[in-house]
Amino acid sequence: MNGSSVDSAVQEAMRAVDRRFFLSDANRPLAAIDAPIAIGFDQTTSQPSLIGHMISLLSLGKDDAVLEIGTGSGYPSAILARLAGEVYTLEIVPELFSSAMDRLGKLKISNLWGKNQSGHVPWGDGKTFSKIVVWAACEELPTVLLDQLRQGGTMVLPIGPHGESQRLAVVKKNADGTWQRSDSIGVRFVPFRR
C-alpha cells in the first residue's frame, strides 16, 4: 500500500501527529517504519499506511461525529480528532484505555471522548454517528454498529475470522436504513473482542 491511497487532508493530519508519542520507549525507534507495532496486551497499532487508507475511506469533514472501536495507543484517535468534528472512542482493555486517554489529554484534544468498554455495547444515550471505524476484525457485520450508524453514514472495518483471510469493508447506510457493503484489500487484524 502506498501514500496514494491516503488523501491529502489525512496525510496532513498524520504529519501533525507524532507516532513516537504513542509508543513505548522501547518501540519509539520503530515509529518511522510502515509496519504494525505491538502495544501490549496482545494488541498492535496498525501500520501508518493502513491507518491513513482506512481514515481516507471515511471521507471525514468537520461536521462528522466518528465512533472509533479500538482506541489502542490513541494514535489513530489523534488523527481522527484533527479531521472530524467529534470523536467517540471505545477501548476494551483498561490499561490501554487509560494510557491512551492520558496521552490524548496531554495533547489537549478537546473534541474527543472515550469509554473503557466493548464495541459490542452501544455508546449510549441514543447517540448515532455519521462515520464509524473499527480497528479489529469482525467475523460478520456487527448489528450493534449498524444500528448506531446514521442514514447516509459510512463504516470502515475489517471482516473475517481471526487468523484467516480478512477483507477491509466499506459499509454505506442508505436513507431507507438498508446498507451496501463493498470489500477492498486483504488485511490482518486482531479480533473484535467482547
Q: Give the residue numbers marked as catalytic.
A: 46
Give the chain's radius of gyration (CA, Å): 15
- Whether residue 194 contacts residue 138, with contact meaning beta carbons closer than 8 Å, is answered with no
Measured CA distances, 86 to 80, 89, 114 (Å) = 9, 10, 11
What single letter denotes the amino acid at residue 171? V
| 176 Cβ contact list (under 8 Å, min separation 6) | 151
**Lookup: cell for 129:** 454517528
